[in-house]
Amino acid sequence: MAAVEKAEQRQPWREFWRRFSRNKLAVVGLVLVFVMFFTGIFAPWLAPYSYTDQNLDAVEQMPSLAHPLGTDELGRDQLSRIIWGARTAVIIAPTATFFGVSLGLLFGLLASYYRGWVETLIMRLADILFAFPGILLAILIAATVQGRIEAWLKGFEALEGFVKAGFAQVLVVIVALSAVGWPGMARLVRGQVLALREEQFVEAAWAIGAKPWRVITRHILPNAMVPIVVSVSMSMGGAIMAEAGLSFMGIGIRPPTPSWGALIIDNYSFWRSPAAPVLLWLPALIVGAMVAAFNFVGDGLNEALIPG
């Protein structure tokens, strides 16, 4: 009897993994994502050198035993800088995505819940942000908030170290990316909610007297989760790419704070040098690989979570 019960028990996680792992690329992507988080979190223990250690006797060296990926023009160990870059990515990608998605979720729900002028206002605002050239808006926002955030953080003496460690720049990038990122999510959420509110189970929830907010959070939102989760995964990759773009324009992460975007920019002048593969291509390819990895995971989630 017990055996029968066990066999019949639903095992959602195992089922999810079975479906997710059918997509080989998604598994590869997931592994890459894990590697990135692991490297970022344990950067201080993994990196052989500090990212600011300069060895002016060993500048622009090709890979060797002492420096597996060579050194840059200031003699800084490239491997260590890439490892520390993972930490910046691990801070920026989830945080920017979190704020962008939360704002989008909030505005999308408000729009589809209140309808009327609230909806008009929010969706028109989203239209406006869409019509804005994206990267320029991010640049303008970043440039505008930069001084303010730095000044604000300097107000807290305890945070002095953070500001010096480039924390303010990270915050600027997060603010800019969240501000530019939410309209897409708001549109997605609103579309989902508007489609679901016509479904019978929602009507049933109304019929038994559920309050509106409960209908939205308990009945509609869980059913709208799949596209939201998928787009969260994809926007993590997008955030990494956008950080590289902002840094390239000199707005995002600046030296000596290591980020993959900043590494690409720092070493761009080496494009014809024989060291280009390690100094320039490697960070560039890592950015590309992480964008791809998050897209694969998104595809895999999509296939695994949609029934049928």
Choose the binding region for other proteins from 75-83, 152-160, 208-216, 278-286 (rule: CB under 8 A): 278-286
C-beta separation of 197 from 112 below 8 A = yes
> In terms of C-beta density within 10 A (0-12 exposed, 13-18 middle, 19 or more buried), how is residue 177 classed?
buried
Nearer to other proteins, 127 or 160 (CB): 127
Q: How far is the CB of 296 from other proteins (least distance, A)?
A: 8
Q: How far is the CB of 23 from other proteins (least distance, A)?
A: 12
d(CA 234, CA 293): 9
Choose the binding region for other proteins from 122-130, 187-195, 205-213, 222-230 (rule: CB under 8 A): 122-130
Choose which of 163, 176, 291, 297 interacts with other proteins (CB under 8 A). 291
C-beta separation of 70 from 278 below 8 A = yes
Q: Which of residues 30-69 bind other proteins (CB under 8 A)?
A: none
Choose the binding region for other proteins from 14-22, 35-43, 109-117, 266-274 (rule: CB under 8 A): 266-274
Choose the binding region for other proteins from 49-57, 60-68, 85-93, 238-246 (rule: CB under 8 A): 238-246
- Binding of other proteins by 131 (CB under 8 A): yes
- At residue 71, what are phi and psi to the nearest 5 degrees? -130, 160
- Binding of other proteins by 141 (CB under 8 A): yes
State how far Cα 229 lies from the chain centre: 13
Choose the binding region for other proteins from 91-99, 108-116, 144-152, 224-232 (rule: CB under 8 A): 144-152
Structure tokens at 87: 């930490």
Nearer to other proteins, 215 or 284 (CB): 284
- Binding of other proteins by 167 (CB under 8 A): no
Q: What residues have CB less than 8 Å from 133, skipping those under 6 apart?
A: none
Choose which of 74, 121, 135, 305 interacts with other proteins (CB under 8 A). 135
Q: List interacting residues with other proteins (CB under 8 A).
A: 25, 124, 127-128, 130-133, 135-136, 139-141, 143-144, 146-147, 237, 241, 244-245, 248-249, 261, 264, 268, 271-272, 276-277, 280-281, 284-285, 287-289, 291-292, 295-296
